[in-house]
Amino acid sequence: MQVTRRGTLLGAGGVAVAAALGAVAVDAAPARVRRALGLSPDLFVPDAAEGEVRLDTVASAAMGTELDLFTAVPAGYGEGAGLPALLVLHGASSSAAQFRDFGFTRFVTAAVEAGAPPFVLVGTDDGPDGWVPGGGVDPFTMLREEMPQWLADRGFAPGRPRVWAWSRGGYGALRLALTDPGWARALALFSPAVADVDPALADLSPLTGQRIGVWCGTEDPFLDDVRAVTNRLPTPPEVSSYVAGGHTQQFWNEHALEAFSWLMSAD
């Protein structure tokens, strides 16, 4: 099944501007586009089959618009009836329509082949202020109230999700967990775009007992703030992985299977 995508190709003019500025956001374009432009090496993608992959359109009252809803079932599990959700919150400039280009469909199968219980990978898109309410939209309400129904409509288990989130998505996942403790079974935060001085993160006590894993590259510009914030968590992270790498899709792909295995161990 072909997955459609919107607005992910960089025009020639945009490339010229980006080249002049000397930078293009790593998660601003699909892997194949970045490879074609010579902006980054190939992403790590496991050698595993794709299962059922869909990119549906859903109407969200909370977001005031239609959204892409991406789902990927591991190979051999048909349409994924009854499978629990592993929810993805992407970073800035990424979209759910890019997940197949990032290789996520193969990570699902690879994780299950490595021993993780089967799951469906699910993702959609954020708003103008990322994954926090603002600009007249409410991603929190979308994730808490609308997402479970979308999952149920497709035959998936609509219970508490396990959440994998990177960059701005990691910040949003943390904020939602603070607003609604117990919403998520576990949070795998990759390079969360946090600031220790952020008033919204001043009181982390609602996260007592929350299962959290943190992965961040030692060359990541958010490293110091990530350490500072996670050091204040009332319940220490079950995983604290600070290894070589930057704020890049390469780093996130390289450690995705670790996160999936850990997330699916959460009760």
Per-residue pLDDT tens digits for 192-212: 999 999 999 999 999 999 999
pTM for the structure as a whole: 0.85
Express each pLDDT in 58-100 by its tens digit. 999 999 999 999 999 999 999 999 999 999 999 998 999 999 9
The answer to whether residue 160 sits within a structural domain is: yes
Express each pLDDT in 118-158 by its tens digit. 999 999 999 999 999 999 999 999 999 999 999 999 999 98
For residues 193 and 92, give the distance between their C-alpha atoms in angstroms, rounded to a whole number: 10
For residues 263 and 168, give the distance between their C-alpha atoms in angstroms, rounded to a whole number: 19
Percentage of the chain modeled with pLDDT above 90: 82
In this predicted structure, the answer to whether residue 22 has a pLDDT above a threshold of 60 is no
The type of residue at 200 is A
206 neighbors 178 (Cβ within 8 angstroms): yes
The answer to whether residue 1 sits within a structural domain is: no
Same domain (yes/no): 112, 26? no
Q: How confident is the model at residue 10 (pLDDT cuts 50, 70, 90)?
A: very low
pLDDT of residue 40: 55
- CATH code at 107? 3.40.50.1820
Q: How confident is the model at residue 25 (pLDDT cuts 50, 70, 90)?
A: very low
Same domain (yes/no): 156, 174? yes
The domain in which residue 256 lies consists of 46-263
Mean pLDDT value across the chain: 88
The answer to whether residue 23 sits within a structural domain is: yes
The answer to whether residue 188 sits within a structural domain is: yes
For residues 90 and 148, give the distance between their C-alpha atoms in angstroms, rounded to a whole number: 18
